[in-house]
Structure 1
Amino acid sequence: MEHVPPPAEELALLDRELAQLDARRAQLLTRRAWLVAALQPKAPDAPRWSTPPLGHGWAPAQPWGAVPKAAKPSAPRSAQNVLLTLGGLLLTVAAVAFTLVSWGSMGIGGRAAVLALVTVAALAAPALLLRRKLAATAEALAALALVLTLLDAYAIHAVATPDADGLTFTAIASAVLAALWAAYGLALGKLHLPLPAAVFFAQWPLLLGAWAAGAPALVVGWALLAMAVVDGAIALRGKGLGVRVTAGIGLVVMGSATLLTGLGESLTAGSPLGAVLPGLLLLTAAVAALAGAWRAPSGYAQLGGAVAGLAAVAAVGGVLRAAVPGAWHVPVYLLCGPALLSVVRARLPRTAGRGVLLASGAVVAGALVWALPGVAAVLLGPVQLVAEVWAGAPDGFRGALGEAMAWSELAAAPLVLAVVAGGLGAAYRRWPTLVRLAAPLAAPGVKARDAAGAGAVALGWGAVLLAAATLGVPYPVAVALETVLVAGLLAVAVLGAGGREAGAGAADAASAGVGATGAAGSGSGGAVGGSEPYAGTASAGPSAGGAAGRGGPSAVAVTALVLAVGGAVSLGLLSLAAEAATYAVLGALTVLFAGAALRTRPVVVQAVLAVAAVVWGTALTGCVAGSLGLAPHEAAPLLLVVPAVTVLLGARLRNHPVALPVELAGGLGALVAIGLAAPRAPFLALVLALCGVLAAGAAVRPERRPVAGYLAAVLFVTATWVRLAASEVSAPEAYTLPVTVPALVIGALRRRKDPEASSWTAYGPGLGVTLLPSLAVAWGDPDWPRPLLLGAAALVITLLGAKYRLQAPLLLGGAVLALVTLHELAPYVVQVAGALPRWLPPALAGLLLLAVGATYEQRLRDARKLKDMLGRMR
């Protein structure tokens, strides 16, 4: 059955009708927008708009279907506000001037009458103005009334009670003003100023009263705490934004003063009994902060939980601190910090619980800041042994670290590191019970469980090193201990670098071993494990952690690798105290890092380990030279043994990604050898020639040829120049021409066999061997035959390069010709310059700049043409 009308016609009909509906809708929306704008108040000088037509010829101002936004309300009358503000300020200044300056010209009755009359009028006027809906004017007069009440208080003190104590009078006046403005603000609810002013005045009566009564610091602290509690209640329940903001500021100020007062009294207490009362103040403040966090919004609740946790630690730790020696004060506070983790068992709001956990983390971080300088001293102390290599093994580990550190004051530092490491190890093993609670505290992209495992490994390693230093173990024991630690870290790095599945067992074992050194930390971690309110998160943690670890080395493996490299550097420096220790340590490090590089799979980790092995091998070679009694320049050729091994190893590895880092590490050893040989030219020429041989050996491989070939040529040529200079040869051409001729013949044969070969490879070494030494000699030659012959040869070489379009002869010959010409013309240029007026060179330079600027585009095109021409040469 066919449709009537056909589907195509019906579709066209529907499209036309929809288009008409859209057009009509746009017209109606435009008319509505005009009506809304017409109803808004206009400025007096605004032009009158004519009513727009509503016919079909009207073009809509907005796209079809767009709903016009409602017009914004008119801006506040800024001019009126400015006038009211200026008027209020002028009246305030007049009142102050009257009170302070003109007060003495009136009697006591007149003064009281004037102030009372003006104050009452200022207080009564806002009520009348609010009835007439003049709110802005009422606010300005209320501000004037506020200043007048302050002046009234000052006047009463100056006239009626001049002998009264200032603090006492101020406390009473603040209480009266707070009550007055609170009542006034409640009576005139539309004013915004009175209630915040009442909150401000209410801050001072208790504090000033206690201060005036000569109360002890703890009583003042209780007064501050009471006011902070009141401020917190007002901030949570107060009416109006101004009231809550003022109360919030008061809460921060009074609460901070309370905590500082309690903490100061707790730290200065001489006995546990003396620290009880400050601890009670801090505990009460913690309870108040936690109660406020229960009702506060999320962000403030987390802050309240953190304050409560820190106050509780300060209270309990202060009592325990007074009972232990000074070196153990920090561990006492540290043991109180993990106790806060029990918050996961309490049914607190989640944000408040996060705040308490944040406080626990802050306590732990503070303890680490106190303990880590000792670890840094252990790692960096052996640097001083570089100045006295093999001076003899010190009596103990501390002798190699120096006596700058007060090790007796750090006796408890290893325990701090061990406790924190144990806690992190426990968290790594049983983290899922806390992950949902603490995850928002972690930085974006950081997995909390991985960070805990890495921290456990790092802090456990530091705890062992610092314990060895504080106990003063013998030097051989310290060296053996550090070697074992480096080996263990390398094992963790190798086992964990292959992925999460391979590394989890080793990381767990390392964390468990670290946890054994800090049972207290493990206990706190275990207490967290049984959290009932968050027990439902246990199933989500392991799977997430395992998925996160796949695809690369785990955080524990990376941390172990970094620590292994840093520990190896410190161990190598420590071994410099004794010759036997140096050989044993450097040999062990070379073997350990090389073996770890063979066992690991990720390329980056393997490259780091291989480069470290090369570095330790180079250092071991240098020690051999030192044992043989060789001078630094005599030891330079011996240092090239390791670079030679890396070249052979690179040929064996071929295109393996680790080959290039290994060869570059060997190249650094060659640079060290060149630096050692630099003071003696004959040895420098020998070392440069040997480096050229190594570079030529690397250039045999096609993947290294583009770089190693040029490097070999430069090294050989440089070695030749240095050798000629060391022999004080005045005619280098006798030695260089026999090399140049065969080199050019070989280059010509190479170009005939391979026309695409670069002219720098074919002719560059041969030309450079003669031209450059001859140029160096000719530059200081006062006679004319050598420059003339060298210039002629350079000219011929330049012309041949231009004729056959060879880049190397053209550039080398042109550069030598230009320098020879400059050398020959330099005396005449100096004479001419001395005869010219002094203003002429700047003028010529200015003209040159103008010419270049005027033809700048043409010069750019010429430069591009020259570049393209040189690029087309071989």
Structure 2
Amino acid sequence: MPCRVTRTTLRSMTHLPPPAEELRLLDTELRQLDARRAQLLTRRAWLVAALQQTRQQPPQPRPWASSQPPITVSPRPETAAPSVQNVLLVLGGVLLTLAAAVFTLVSWGQMGIAGRALVLGAVTLATLAAPVALLKRGLRSTAESVAGLGLALTVLDAYALHAAALSATDGTGYAAAASAVLAATWSAYGLLPVTSGLRLTLPSALAAAQFPLLLWALAADASPYTITAALLVTAGLDAVAVARLAAGSVRITAVVGAYGMGGWGVLGAGWLSLTAGGPGEASRAGALLLLAAVIALGAAWRGPGVGHALGLALTAGLLVVAALGGVARTGLPSEWVVPAHLAVGVALLAAVRAGRLPEAMRTGFAWASGAVQALAVLWTLPVVAVVLLGPAGWLGRVWSGAPANARAAVLVEAPWPPDAVAAPLVLVGVAAVLALAVRAQVWRPRARLGALGLLWATALILPAVLEIPYAAGLLVLGVMTAAALFACRVTVSAAQVTALVLALVTAVGLTLVSLASQSATLVVLSGLTVLFAAASWRVGVAPFTAPAALVYAAALASASGAAADWPAARTALLVLLVPAAAALLAPR
């Protein structure tokens, strides 16, 4: 850049900030630096004095310094040593057991079964004594494996004894006695002070105790009732063991045995009750079911856990219903079997009121009663379905002639369900329970709506069940429709919706049933038009009743034209008057 330009430019430049202001700022910063330097020097002098004082005192361990050597992370092995050891011990025990079985079952040189039994007995005693020394040395896993081998050898000893000296005895009876002896022997062995640390002996003893009663019943050629009783008694003993034992492997074994034997016993008793040919057989099967119910109740009373007690109480309630209902089935006509079961199920609610029972058991009885009532209502569904859907067959037989009675009016093409005479009684009974027995504030409104629906179903099927005259059946359906529309005046939304749905469904059924007769069709359509038009003045249900009134009015116009033998064009003009009249009345 030329020199003249530089000088001219420097003369014309202005300082930002001006020199006086910049000088003031520099002085301020220098004073701050001097103050900061003085502060740092003071701090440095204090630290030097502190260090000199620390050097004069003996060194003390710092709390944050660890005196332990640094932790070194060793590489993790692919498999833990105890796991490998346990697997090898189990495999070794299994192989030794197989070898002992082969030695016992297959001849070994010139040694007979008696000699093999003696050798096997000596080996068994030595094997059962070995865990004592192993436990003293702390080798628990090895002791468990050797003890398991010893228990397996005792089973082979029992077989060898039967083959050598008791071959003439019955095999099933000997197996029953042997299982009882083995259970007692294993229990005594596991309860010894020197072997009480073994965890395999007592569960094995309890597992062996599941078979004596069943095998004795089979050996005695007992009846199915006795065999089932043996299963249930074994399950009861297991339930007692569950109530008395502490948590552990023994208790788990008892629980499995109780559920297993009890389940088979209940299945057997239920099958005997279903196939009973008379009151005597049904009574014996019912007694077995009651025994199972008592066992379940005892286990629920003494068993642990709310869910456990709830499930057992529910099962006990159902077993009581099956027992008493099975006895009643053999002495009552077939149409009264379901009401008999329902009566027993409703009677279970008396146990719900018992204050001495735990809450879980009372809840279980309530659920059992509810399940029975639900099944009873399901039994009535075929009758309700026939009454509701059966009249649809008149769509292909319009004005073919009035049927003889209300049942014939619904049986156009569908058959009448058997044993339907008691269906109204079942529906009324369940409705009464819902209306009277449910007292909880949360469930009471819903129960009342359910009772209303069941009473409506009762009134719907009652004309067909009683076979009242056709005109009387139409009158009943008309009254039901009017009552449902009147019930829509309630303010509760759920009840209003329920009443509206019932009114619409009943009106459709009434219309279908009326198609059998020309006069009935005209009268029914006129009445439904008036009813739904009158109900449309209420704002809450008008969006549903007003369209229904228009539909029935249009159907009435079509039916009137067809009854007068008018041509289709003239009938269409009559139908057009319906929406025109609705348009005129809508602003009002």
Same fold (TM over 0.5): yes
Q: Which residue of 2 aligns with 1:457?
A: 452
Specify the code of the residue in structure 2 equivalent to 1:330.
V
Aligned residues: 521
- CA–CA distance in structure 2, aligned partners of residues 257 and 36 of structure 1: 63
| Paired residues of 2:114 and 2:160 also in contact (CA < 8 A) | no
Name the CA distance, whole Å, in 1 between partners of 2:569 and 2:70: 91
Give the 3 Å change call, closer, same or farther, for CA 406–126 of structure 1 in structure 2: farther
Q: Choose from 129, 139, 159 the match for 2:144.
A: 139
CA distance in structure 1 between the partners assigned to 2:102 and 2:579 by the alignment: 89
Q: Equivalent residues in 2 for 1:411-430 (5 A)?
A: 411-427=421-437
1:362: how far off?
1.9
1:315 to 303, 319, 323: 323
User: How does 1:262-411 map onto structure 2 within 5 Å?
Assistant: 262-269=269-276, 272=279, 275-296=282-303, 297-343=305-351, 344-402=353-411, 404-407=414-417, 409-411=419-421
Indicate whether 1:239 and 2:233 are aligned.
no
Structure 1 residues 356 and 102: CA distance shift in structure 2, 3 A: same
Structure 1 match to 2:208: 201
Give the aligned partner of residue 616 of structure 1.
552
Distance 1:155 1:313 in 2: 49
Residue 23 of structure 2 is matched in structure 1 by none
Contact kept in structure 1, 2:557 and 2:571, CA below 8 Å:
no
Shift of 1:368: 1.6
Contact 1:407 1:470 in 2 (8 A): no
Q: How far, CA to CA, are the matches of 1:275 and 1:393 in structure 2?
A: 47
1:167 is matched with which residue?
Answer: 172
Cα displacement (A) at 1:457: 0.9
Partner SS for 1:345: coil
Contact 1:293 1:302 in 2 (8 A): yes
In the alignment, what sits opposite 1:579? 518
Of the structure 1 ranges 182-191 and 384-393, higher mean CA displacement relative to structure 2 is found in: 182-191
- In the other structure, the counterpart of 2:489 is 495
Name the % identity. 45
- Please give the per-residue CA displacement for 1:765-808, whole angstroms capped at 9, x wherever unaligned: xxxxxxxxxxxxxxxxxxxxxxxxxxxxxxxxxxxxxxxxxxxx
Query: Which residue number in structure 1 is paired with residue 87 of structure 2?
Result: 82
Q: Is the 8 A contact 2:383 2:416 kept in 1?
A: no
CA distance in 1, matches of 2:362, 2:69: 51
Kindly state the Cα deviation for residue 44 of structure 1 after the two structures are TM-superposed: 5.3
Bigger Rg, which one: 2
**Which ranges in structure 1 are unaligned for 5 or more consecutive residues?**
1-26, 48-73, 437-446, 500-552, 654-874
Instruction: Give, in whole Å, the separation in 1 of the partners of 2:333 and 2:70.
Output: 79
1:410 is paired with a residue whose SS is coil
- Counting only pairs closer than 5 Å after superposition, residues 640-679 of structure 1 correspond to structure 2 as 652=587
Q: How does 1:623-772 map to 2 (within 5 A)?
A: 623-624=559-560, 626-627=562-563, 652=587
Q: Distance in 1 between matches of 2:148 and 2:331?
A: 55
The one-letter code of the counterpart of 2:507 is A
Q: Residue 409 of structure 1: SS of its match in structure 2?
A: coil
Change (3 A) 1:645 1:140: farther
Q: How far apart, CA to CA, are the structure 2 residues paired with 1:407 and 1:164? A: 58
Q: State the one-letter code of the partner of 1:168.
A: G
Shift of 1:183: 1.9
Residue 348 of structure 2 aligns to a residue whose secondary structure is helix
Q: Which amino acid aligns with 1:481?
A: V
Q: 1:409 Cα deviation (Å)? A: 1.6
SS at 1:361 equivalent: helix
Counterpart amino acid of residue 309 in structure 2: A
Instruction: Name the structure 1 match of 2:477.
Output: 482
Contact 1:408–1:470 (8 Å) recurs in 2? no
- What's the counterpart of residue 562 of structure 1? 501
Contact 2:104 2:117 in 1 (8 A): no
Asked whether the 8 Å contact 1:390–1:577 carries over to 2, the reply is: yes
Q: Structure 1 residues 345 and 626, CA, compared in 2 at 3 Å: closer, same or farther?
A: same
* Residues in 1 aligned to 2:407 and 2:162: alpha-carbon distance in whole angstroms: 69
Q: CA deviation at 1:216?
A: 2.4
Distance in 2, matches of 1:366 and 1:610, equals 38
* Residue identity opposite 1:608 in structure 2: F
Distance (whole Å) between structure 2 residues aligned to residue 36 and residue 574 of structure 1: 96
- Paired letter, 2:133: L
Q: Which of the numbers 108, 111, 128 marks the counterpart of 2:113?
A: 108
**Cα offset, 1:454, TM superposition:** 1.4
Q: CA deviation at 1:418?
A: 1.3
Residue by residue over 1:505-545, the C-alpha shift from the partner in whole angstroms, topping out at 9 and shown as x without a partner, is xxxxxxxxxxxxxxxxxxxxxxxxxxxxxxxxxxxxxxxxx
CA distance in 2 between partners of 1:199 and 1:284 (Å): 22
Structure 1: distance between partners of 2:159 and 2:577: 91
Distance 1:132 1:43, change over 3 A: farther
* Structure 1 contact 286–308 (Cα < 8 Å) conserved: yes
Please give the TM-score of this superposition, normalised by the length of structure 1: 0.54
Q: Tell me the distance in 2 between the aligned counterparts of 1:381 and 1:474.
A: 17
Query: CA shift at 1:453, angstroms?
Result: 0.6
Q: Aligned equivalents of 1:649 and 1:282: distance in 2?
A: 68
Output the CA distance in 2 between the equivalents of 1:233 and 1:291: 9
Task: For residues 795-843 of structure 1, give each alpha carbon's deviation from its aligned partner in whole angstroms, at most 9, with x where no partner exists.
Answer: xxxxxxxxxxxxxxxxxxxxxxxxxxxxxxxxxxxxxxxxxxxxxxxxx
* Contact 1:168/1:209 (8 A) holds in 2: yes
CA displacement at 1:102 relative to structure 2: 5.1
SS at match of 1:590: helix
Deviations 1:460-507 (A, max 9, x none): 121222222122122221122112112222222x133x13xxxxxxxx
| One-letter amino acid of the structure 2 residue matched with residue 143 of structure 1 | G
Q: 1:179 aligns with which of 171, 179, 184?
A: 184
| Residues 636 and 287 of structure 1, relative CA distance in 2, 3 Å threshold | same
Change (3 A) 1:199 1:623: farther
Which residue of structure 1 lines up, in the alignment, with residue 227 of structure 2?
220
**TM-aligned CA distance change 1:367 to 1:46, over 3 Å:** closer
Judging changes above 3 Å, is the alpha-carbon distance between structure 1 residues 112 and 345 closer, same or farther for their aligned structure 2 residues? closer
Any conservation in 1 of the 2:107–2:113 contact (CA below 8 Å)?
no
* Aligned 8 A contact 1:371 1:410 in 2: yes
Q: CA deviation at 1:352?
A: 0.9
Residue 84 of structure 1 and its aligned partner are, at CA, apart by 2.9
d(CA) in 1 for partners of 2:198 and 2:566? 92
> Contact 1:495–1:600 at 8 Å: present in 2 too?
no
- How far the C-alpha of 1:159 sits from its partner, in A, is 4.4
Aligned CA distance change for structure 1 residues 174 and 611 (closer, same or farther; 3 Å) = farther
What's the RMSD between the two structures over aligned residues?
A: 3.4
**Are the aligned partners of 1:614 and 1:642 in contact in 2 as well (CA < 8 Å)?**
yes
How far is the alpha carbon of 1:584 from its aligned partner? Answer: 2.4
Query: 1:225-254: per-residue Cα shift (whole Å, max 9, x none)?
Result: 321211111112223422222212222232
User: One-letter code of the match for 2:394?
Assistant: L
| Distance (whole Å) between structure 1 residues aligned to residue 431 and residue 567 of structure 2 | 47
What SS does the corresponding residue of 1:389 show, helix, strand or coil?
Answer: coil
